[in-house]
Structure 1
């Protein structure tokens, strides 16, 4: 008897159960400069109701809670919610966390002033459906903020190949143009777009069994001088370094 295919949701939970603690502790995820940009883009004030979708270990949720916002975080992976609750206790902030699926957010329509997700869309098979759910639970005139890696069109295929090797739950990283069009299709009004690069060391971002193949891909890309991965990779004394190309897109939900 053949085995049933593994669902994508199971793949996500398996990946992030395994990586929950290392992911939570990796310094780049709490990088001060990118966090400041994230908090600024969300433009929250004390008492605002904020939802962090696919919140992971609660880094963004806790950062927003420090402003006095009323923050809720939802994630598919129980191990990530455990890390998020631990982070909130250490930070001395109150965040309501719960396990939930971004495709079917367990909240009423028009419930939140701000709805944000960071580094999640590239894990989603149908990111437009996630965005539609974010729109549904956001109140009219509220803000929706999506933050994710956005490779250039000419590098997208190579970028996805490298990311899939590094992370089996990766689907495809949207280009900035694709992300903006998705917002237009959802009837959202664009307010702001920012971009930044997040430096990482390759060996910090890959499981040991995938290291050789991924390293070979990066070595070849560096040697070619063409940057086909779109990651600007280079050799440093402590290994291969590269940049994640990140975009922040902010929309307003129309009345």
Structure 2
């Protein structure tokens, strides 16, 4: 499989087809090479249109999508993964995640579908998303290809220490969604101070902090060109040890994405 580019472009809630396609095109032309979507976002076709409209060769774009929670039974997973590839305009999906281990998720049938999709070349790599550690371990026991990534909410107020350690121990990427906590990082004093110190934005500081972590990638979402480019420029922000320690020391903890059926509430 291809290496997962560490700073990607998220498309959650980017559901206007023209806007989504334009945002993806803009992101790729700005330098991104990792685009993340999902069946449940309803924008896979628009993402494919944006990739096709870009000046970047589609073979150089790492495309990730996710199986919806109603499509996790074996037959549904196999059928809809192929449909996702068609909508995205790719022969092979670079990375296919199980979006949530809820609803129709079946550890045996779902993982068997992923194994077969990988074997058949429909997908190049397998990912999981929003799993607990025990669920990750169970899936790892069943997966034939190695796990490539686990996507979870991760930012300075939810650093996911246990899941990051698991990713390092098992050599896969932890992909951070909501990496700027829907810009709530701008309300955190240490992050604001570090941003001022570096003439950067709090969002850039949060992204740079994540990229300092071993095995971590981030997929901030944006629609406008200025925010798309601003996030991309976070790669150039060099935090010093004092900055990283200050962010590590933030004691506020909360989730952005949370609901009763979420795995961590079970």
Structure (1 or 2) with the greater helix fraction: 2
Structure (1 or 2) with the greater strand fraction: 1
Question: TM-score higher than 0.5 here?
Answer: no
TM-score by length of 1: 0.32
TM-score by length of 2: 0.31
